[in-house]
Structure 1
């Protein structure tokens, strides 16, 4: 093993959390960023809504804290939330000092938006509804070739021995398998929206990080909590792009085909109620044969205020000028994931997780709107602080267990669409024991045969499906274990008032017997 096979830090993913961590660490460490597609393929790059932060004179961190806890159905870890809302404004200010530009009015005052479940206008935007894209481009500019970003590399598995991570096994487009050794491995691979038929996520986001961490033996927590965004543009039976919550923040309302306000009398915040509440109401209407629209007729200069959304509408044959956008809920954010502390440490030494793939407990059972980009920025900085202050270990050799037998076993796998249909139908917005049990049994037909399978022997596409099956099974099994309704996990057979599992967290680890027959 030669020295040039060892890096200080390898980061899996290229979203905001990955880029912030890389920017901080590259000044002192040799950092490599790998992504299974292109560096622009991330949920961060697609984020429309903005970044939430208590920056106005009539707002403070405690207001933001309370709104986050309330939206999270009191399942949050309070200390993590406090770090998020206290440190967020400072990190954003630091970015602005370095040149990041957020939208402001003609007098130079920052324009702050309103979104669901926020008690104050505290959402910073850039480029109207292209905040994520602006942030990603800014961070890539900050890196300025200081970090090697390798595209079209699939992370297959983590190299773990005796509960210590030594790097990752990767697969190149040409099928070549390599071990990439490093002293610090950071998973920032995003969530799992691609497991569902309707999703706002980039098509590359398929739960890979959760599956790899599970196989390595890392603790996973709160996997049952999946947030559905209420408003995705719905045309030709497909979800074709996100319609940001900021549109409702500017006055748009949900209506039925007859023009009846959908959210009137459902929740005190009406159309700005928490996302799980709004998504369930739209879902209920759909089951009753109703078509649901977002009425945007009251918003002046719609195309100037929301250029990305206007373009999505035009690309899909929807005339936004008529004021009615057909919508449907879609999988948006995974509150659960790889269990970490506030510094991004997992239960495995030298393995870290940040961004949506991680679960610090900051979002509880339901993420507050526009807290996701903020989470990536804050906890990537916390992780960088930790790595830069710990003493370096000297690694003279690697365990022999990382030399693979190159298993070429093949197996019959379902298609992506089949996995997505199972998840959308039985593990979606509304769940039941019967539906979850059916889905779990379906997944176990495949997952039960994985014990002796080395995923590197599969094709590039089949590895992704393999990960989708494992992550889908984990989410389904966790949803069966939580016999209550809370936030993004809603079961008609266990309404919220029957049982209160306050602060109860379901932790899964690959050392737990994998299947329940």
Structure 2
């Protein structure tokens, strides 16, 4: 049994931002499944959207966010995001974050659905990595923060309706119980629920699954954003081809060499991501779709060094070749339901970043708002954890934890577990992906029911991830079946129209409802 003041599960931008704030008042433990640099944050290429041009810029950023969210954005959360964003980015600058500059001034680029250039980037296309390094450097200077790598969350500990800690699986295979006055889930998204994703292997929806099993509400799980342009070559990973490429002038062309976005949206290649993703999917039915930058007269290697390095492995070059692309699962707008301060429906439990759902993204996240979300709401959640702790005078007890050390019924082999996970991911991609209908979603549910019978068992990381992926997949399918309309990233071929009233899906304890 271990005791800390605050337990943070996840070491991306939301978790580390929160930990820095929490460390000022107590002992903090931050756990992450792999090494500290491995998170969705570190894979973010395009940049961080922030309105640093005064009140008009902030107001426009708010309206762009509202518009992209297709009628479902929580305006209060979006206002908090854009208003507090500049202050948080200034903190990053003070901590040594090196955003790209031109003639001494911060460079600002534009991405899809933004009304003006407000995207800051670092090292061309490695913004998330630079922010992660900066935050880690700052965290390592704080003695009250304990960092635990190669540690997987198993389940939350709940006593008398309150979350009081979590059980963890460490890198040596040992199960540990950690009690805390408050727990923050900042564990990121769940892109690995789909066979095609831009997310790293750690994105298996652990925090969302842990929260739901503990009784917390989740919201808007049907809204999974598929990034329009992931590298598409047989045998190659679905490497993200940043939206910043289109911001710098890249065209989308079909197998005939024709630009086609004028048929889908007046903003052409800079239309909202859901529109572009569906357009590419439809055009791709007749052959490959490509990104074309051959006409762009810039030093593309200098602007996009990471992407250029990746493409070189496949003998391709941005300035010379048509780059084959197709959509891939990228970002979950839904998650553990919270208020704007990160409070969930369970006392003692908080969530921030992609694992949380404040409603800030609505039905479709505005490009490059994700890093800003983690930065802003990570701090807000930490502030709420401290305030609630002080107000309620919470004390850590010495009560022993009832730690589950076995998943029951023996242990499934690693190879069998990998095959099981691959089957689930393929099932979700084919039946609950970018374009949905009732028949496909019912097929997905039947497949998930069948997979439940052979669920991998054992107290090892991949078995735990399999359990979490299965639960998250079920939440996505259930919410998608219930939403009989097309809105933002959720598109139903059998219900192509949008309903007049926007409602959020909310699930807890097996119940689904839609609320204003």
Query: TM-score under structure 1 normalisation?
Result: 0.93
Identify if the C-alpha distance between structure 1 residues 98 and 145 changes in structure 2 by more than 3 Å, giving closer, same or farther.
closer
2:128 to 113, 129, 132: 132
Q: Partner of 2:478 in structure 1?
A: 477
| 173-182 or 314-323: bigger deviation | 314-323
Q: Partner of 1:382 in structure 2?
A: 380
Q: Partner of 2:500 in structure 1?
A: 500
Task: Tell me the secondary structure at the aligned position of residue 132 of structure 2.
Answer: helix
- The superposition leaves residues 49-74 of structure 1 with CA deviations (integer Å, 9 ceiling, x where unpaired) of 11111113694211111110110001
- The superposition leaves residues 109-168 of structure 1 with CA deviations (integer Å, 9 ceiling, x where unpaired) of 221100000001110111111110000000011112422211111111111122211111
Identify if the C-alpha distance between structure 1 residues 349 and 8 changes in structure 2 by more than 3 Å, giving closer, same or farther.
same
Residue segments in structure 1 that go unaligned for 5+ positions in a row: none
- The superposition leaves residues 326-373 of structure 1 with CA deviations (integer Å, 9 ceiling, x where unpaired) of 111110100000000111111111111100000000000000000000
Task: Tell me the secondary structure at the aligned position of residue 10 of structure 1.
Answer: strand
Identify if the C-alpha distance between structure 1 residues 316 and 145 changes in structure 2 by more than 3 Å, giving closer, same or farther.
farther
- Give the 5 Å matches for 1:103-142: 103-106=100-103, 108-142=104-138
Q: Distance in 1 between matches of 2:54 and 2:76?
A: 24
1:19 to 16, 21, 37: 16
Identify if the C-alpha distance between structure 1 residues 407 and 66 changes in structure 2 by more than 3 Å, giving closer, same or farther.
closer
Q: Distance in 2 between matches of 1:193 and 1:403?
A: 29
- Is the Cα contact below 8 Å between 2:167 and 2:403 reproduced in 1? no
Q: Partner of 1:416 in structure 2?
A: 421
* RMSD of Structure 2 on Structure 1 (CA): 2.0
Q: Partner of 1:194 in structure 2?
A: 192
Q: Distance in 1 between matches of 2:404 and 2:90?
A: 47
Q: Distance in 1 between matches of 2:303 and 2:53?
A: 21
Residue segments in structure 2 that go unaligned for 5+ positions in a row: none
- The superposition leaves residues 8-37 of structure 1 with CA deviations (integer Å, 9 ceiling, x where unpaired) of 111111110111111111122111111111
- Is the Cα contact below 8 Å between 1:409 and 1:458 reproduced in 2? no
Identify if the C-alpha distance between structure 1 residues 511 and 436 changes in structure 2 by more than 3 Å, giving closer, same or farther.
closer
Q: Distance in 1 between matches of 2:382 and 2:306?
A: 33
1:367 to 359, 365, 369: 365
Stretches (4+) displaced over 4 A: 411-414
- The superposition leaves residues 70-94 of structure 1 with CA deviations (integer Å, 9 ceiling, x where unpaired) of 1000101110000001110111122
- Give the 5 Å matches for 1:141-180: 141-146=137-142, 147-180=145-178
Identify if the C-alpha distance between structure 1 residues 90 and 407 changes in structure 2 by more than 3 Å, giving closer, same or farther.
closer
Query: Is structure 2 residue 434 aligned with structure 1 residue 429?
Result: yes
Q: Partner of 1:45 in structure 2?
A: 42
- Count of residue pairs brought into register by the alignment: 502
Aligned-pair distance for 1:239?
A: 4.0
Q: Partner of 2:467 in structure 1?
A: 466
- Is the Cα contact below 8 Å between 2:164 and 2:348 reproduced in 1? yes
| 266-275 or 169-178: bigger deviation | 169-178
- Is the Cα contact below 8 Å between 2:254 and 2:284 reproduced in 1? no
Identify if the C-alpha distance between structure 1 residues 298 and 168 changes in structure 2 by more than 3 Å, giving closer, same or farther.
same
- The superposition leaves residues 152-211 of structure 1 with CA deviations (integer Å, 9 ceiling, x where unpaired) of 111111111222111111112332212111111111110011111111111110111111
| 229-238 or 85-94: bigger deviation | 229-238
Query: Is structure 2 residue 74 aligned with structure 1 residue 77?
Result: yes
Q: Partner of 1:226 in structure 2?
A: 224
